[in-house]
Every structure is written in C-alpha cells, then in structure tokens.
Structure 1
C-alpha cells in the first residue's frame, strides 16, 4: 500500500470546522437573547409591562438571527467546498498513485472534481435549507424555533417573577440555562420520531456525507480500473458491524471469494450490512477501504480482537459524550458571563473542570484513547 498523504486527523479537523460554525451560531443566538432581555429595574409590579415590551421586539430578534445565519452560511459554504473538493481531490490522487503500482497507465476520471462538487453542493443545501427553515421565519408572525424559544423564555421568566420565587435576574438566567440545556431542537425529526438538535444534525450530515464522498472517489478510481477488491482500515475501537472485517481484505461484490492466483480471501461487504445506515460504511462509520490489487499490494493493517474492539468502541463513545458535555458546560459558562451571573459563573466553571477531569480519567484508564483538546473547545 502507498503511504497516505491525507492525514485522517486533518480531515477530522476540517470537518469539525463546519460543525463549529453552526455550534457558534447556536451560541450566538442564545447570547443575543440574553443581551436583549435586560431585567434591570424589573419587579413583580411591572414585569407584565416588561413582557409586552419584549414580545413586541420579536421582529428584532428574527432580523438579528437572519444576519447571524447569513454570516454562518457564507462561512459554511467555503468550509464545505474546502473539505469536499480540496481534500477529496487529494484522496482521489492518492488512490490513483496506489493503483499505478500495478498498472502503469491507470484510467483517470477527468470530471472527478465535478463529482466532488456535487457532494459539496448537496451537503451545503441540505444543511442550509434545514437550518434556515428551523431557525427563522420567512414572514413576520410565522413560528420558528428561535422566535418560539424567545417567547417561552420571556413567559417563563415572567411567571417566576410574579410567583415571587426568584429575583428577575435569577429567573432570567435559570430560564436561559434551561433552554441552553435543551439546545435548538428539533432541527429534524427522523422517520423513527427521534428529534435531532443542531449539533447532532450538522455533525452527522457532515461526517457521514464526507466519508461517503471520499470513499466514493476511492471506489471510482478502483472501479474505473477494474478493481473490486480492497483492504479495510482498522481501529482499536470499532462498532459491531465493522469489527469482524476491519483490517481484512474485502470486496464490494455480492459474494465473497478466494483469488485463484494468490489464495487471498476477500469477504463481501454485503455480509456486514454494506449499503445500510447501521452497517459497515454506514452512518457515522469512519473506516476506509483502499483499492487492493492481489499480488501487488500487501495488507499491513494492524489486527484487533473483535470483541475487544467492540468493547473499546463503547468506551470511546463514553469519551465522546464527556467531550460534548465539556463543550456544553463551557457554553453555559459563556452565557453566565454574558448575564453577569456570578452564581452561574462559579457553578459552570466548576462543572467544566469536573467533566474535563472525567475525560482525563477515561483517557488515562484506557491506553487506546487519546486526549484531543480540539474536541473540548468551543468556537
């Protein structure tokens, strides 16, 4: 196998930059609401007047959200093109270079950049259309998640002040933190009735589609040159569908077979859910398969115990959950600072440290894990 020039970690960073744009957008919307809902001078006697005034400014929130969304959309389009087209062309060139080891004159697809542009365009439009329709209303008076959230925060804050259970400042802060916990959802409700928040939706669309696009150009390079055999990457942490065949020789033919000349066995990917969301190379799968020419290439992928890799995969999922929690607590700390809420600042600063310590412990306890501080940052 040729040495890979495309660093998988770099691809992950580039992919994460797109997610970060929308995570920042979500945070900016909460900060926008926190700034607009000033409770200074509010008492139980005049809180209803405050409520009416704030509700009448709903159109200003919608207008400000549209501006934030326009900026995020422009940044996202540039980042998506960089990921899919620039990185995708590198992946294709590397596949052709690998194939040329067994074929001095490999077939090269002249319009591969158009194929990648198609993936980039579709990904951008999917995210843009879904997020835009969710966050803002095209016409004043129509419901959107942002306007509904703004209205509910005002009403819940007013209710707490009238009840006399909290000061106006405490009521507003606690209500905003509660909605920050929920996040902006549902951005999408899938066929199973599951609600997807903004972070989960963008992360899944970008990671799954980019993995599919990169694998598509590898497959194109292979198929154009009559190759239907591959070597699959291997990870110390794997999900159930991929664990039995990771690091092995595989084929995208319907049936497994043994090469007559080399005696090498190629397992059919279709025996492991290939082409289905939960199968190998399905949603959120990060495995790679490279073109493999029997008698020319060698399989140098590390081999991992099947059950151990599945068990490791579950531990890695726990690490990812803790990393997400670190980011969530950091966002709430940002909001606490925006609200000048000393109680909240202390609470969430301690909470950030708590979950950072939990990440450190799980990494120290499992030598196959690594600490990636980029996964704990907010932008």
Structure 2
C-alpha cells in the first residue's frame, strides 16, 4: 500500500508541475492589448519547443522513480498473495503436497505478464501526458485570445477563465477508444488499482492451478457495487464442470468492472472444498448495500472536487495573476470543503483528509 500511494503521489505531483509550467510559460497577459495580441501569441508559440523539452525532463524524472516502485509493488503483492492463498489451501487440504511458490511455473509466467502490462500502461500514460501538455498550452492561448478579441473582457480575465477550466478537468493521461479523456488522477489510480487487482487475481489463480483447486467462494460485504450484489457470497466452479455449482464465468468475473477483478472492488475469492470448507459469506441486504455504495461514491466526488480547486489555485499562482483572482480560487476551495463537512455531518462517514490533498510542487 505504501508503494502504491508513492506511485500515485509521484504522478499527482507531475500533473501539478506540468500545469504550473504551462501557467508560468503563458503568464497573466495583463499588459497585452488587442494591438499587441499577435506579438504576444507569436512569442508564446516560439516558446513551445522549450516548454516541451522541460516537460519531457519532468516526465522522464517521474518515470525513473515510478518504474522500479511499480515492479517492487508487484513482487511484494505477489509474494503476499501467494503466501495467503497457499495457507488457505493447506488449511483445507493439509495432506496435499503443492509446488513451492518460488518453483511455480504458473506464478513465474504470471509475474512476467504483470510486469509487461504495467510498464506498457505507464509508458502510454507518459506519452499521452507529454502530448496533451502541449495541446493544453496551445488551447489556452487560442481560447483566451478568441474570448479577448470577441468579448468585453481583458486577456488576463480570459486566461484565468480558460486556465481554471483546464486545471478543473485535469491533465489527460489517456484518451480511450470512445474519445473520452481520463485525467491523470483518474488514470493513475486506475492503473495502480488495476495492477493490484491483476496481481491478486493472477497469483491466486496460479496457486489454484498448482493445487488443482476448482471450487471457490466469493466474499460479500455491505456497500458492494450494485452490479455485484447477485454474485457475492456464493460458490462457483472455476472450470465450469461442476454439476452442483455455477461456473465462475457466468458472473462478471474477469471484466474491468466485474466481481473480484473490478477496479475498487473489495471482493475476493477463497478456496472451497465441499464437505470440508464452511461457507464464510452470504449475500447482504440489497437496499442497504446500494445506499452505502452511493454514499461512498458521493464522498469520492467531493474529494475530487476539493483537489481540483486546489490545482486551480496553484496554476493561477504560477501565472502570477491579480490577487483578486487568487481570492476567488481560495473561496472555491473553502466552499467545497464546506460541502464535504456538511456531507460528513449528514452521513456520519469518516472524512479522509489525505484524499483531499494535492502533492506540493
């Protein structure tokens, strides 16, 4: 968990550095008039190459820190998951001799696959962030200039408005097949959590294969994702050959939003040997579980909104805009923090202050 948080924080800091570098390069535009606008634009276009080189160095520095941490996280989690799964199997099948984790071909193959998948995602994220940084720089210049020329506002006002929008949206780290843009925060969290899920799933299945385990149970908990409610707390057959229990493939298991394997899903599989194991979990009340899930999603939204407001303030600071704009940005942070306090008071949930922070740049 410590390594995963370090990876997330490195990328959140990188996002802040990239946004701030854009703000610093563009400046406040406070002295620009309509007569000098083209000259101002031309000077910024000439600076794009220097900005790109600087941002590339920032990204390479981040990658140099992240890549070994990701590999270490994968191996630490793999070792822990193998130990836990092996212990659970041996508790119900003490007479069975299995293959040691370090000698298992299945786990070695799983680790190779996990490394390749994780590094590919990180490389794709780095390339997207570099490309999108340049796009944001140019779009801020273009959009602010258009509003300045066509509207009754100063260039500084237009720049503040446009920069605030981009800092609110976040730095895109992925553009998916549908054309949707994933912010750095959203995507790096997805990459880390998806990697953790893949490690747990692949290593557990590798050990199941080492011991020829077929029947598995799915855990259950309150606040489960609504689409997982009908699958939790039940017994399944991994092979699908059981005549008594349904195949695991009949569930959403294996999908990116599926039971056990889904992002932010807290379900897990456990060994089930008929006649030996005791079924540990049973389905929860559906109505209560859905209500808890909705509360958790609302809290995550409020946390993201607070962080976005803090990024706005930081970017405007780097632009050295007028103090009045900074005061507005501070008020936005205060307002969103008040929304969180009201939500916590109403629901009795625990406030997670660390999730509201941005990493200082």
TM-score with structure 1 setting the length: 0.82
1:89–1:113: 8 Å Cα contact kept in structure 2?
A: no
* 1:204 shift after superposition: 2.2
* 1:56 shift after superposition: 0.7
Q: How does 1:33-182 map to 2 (within 5 A)?
A: 33-38=22-27, 39=29, 41-101=31-91, 102-104=93-95, 105-109=97-101, 110-111=103-104, 112=107, 115-128=110-123, 130-136=124-130, 144-162=131-149, 165-182=152-169
2:231–2:259: 8 Å Cα contact kept in structure 1?
A: no
Aligned match for 2:248, one of 262, 269, 272:
269
Q: Which moved further from structure 2: 53-62 or 101-110? A: 101-110
For residues 225 and 79 of structure 2, the distance between their equivalents in structure 1, rounded to whole angstroms, comes to 28
Q: Which has the higher contact order (CA 8 A, sep 6+)?
A: 2
Aligned length: 351
Q: Which residue in 2 is equivalent to 1:365?
A: 346
* 1:176 shift after superposition: 1.2
For residues 272 and 193 of structure 1, the distance between their equivalents in structure 2, rounded to whole angstroms, comes to 29
For residues 3 and 328 of structure 2, the distance between their equivalents in structure 1, rounded to whole angstroms, comes to 33
1:47–1:161: 8 Å Cα contact kept in structure 2?
A: no
Note closer, same or farther for the CA distance 1:99–1:373 as it changes in structure 2 (3 Å cut): same
2:118–2:191: 8 Å Cα contact kept in structure 1?
A: yes
Which of the two has greater helix per residue? 2
1:85–1:113: 8 Å Cα contact kept in structure 2?
A: no
In structure 1, runs of 5+ residues without a counterpart are 1-9, 137-143, 259-265
Q: Which residue in 2 is equivalent to 1:356?
A: 337
Deviations 1:188-240 (Å, cap 9, x if unpaired)? 222x4544333333322331232022111112212211212223232311123
Aligned match for 1:18, one of 7, 11, 19:
7
Q: How does 1:212-227 map to 2 (within 5 A)?
A: 212-227=198-213
Q: Which residue in 1 is equivalent to 2:194?
A: 208
Note closer, same or farther for the CA distance 1:120–1:365 as it changes in structure 2 (3 Å cut): farther
Q: Which residue in 1 is equivalent to 2:229?
A: 243
In structure 2, runs of 5+ residues without a counterpart are none
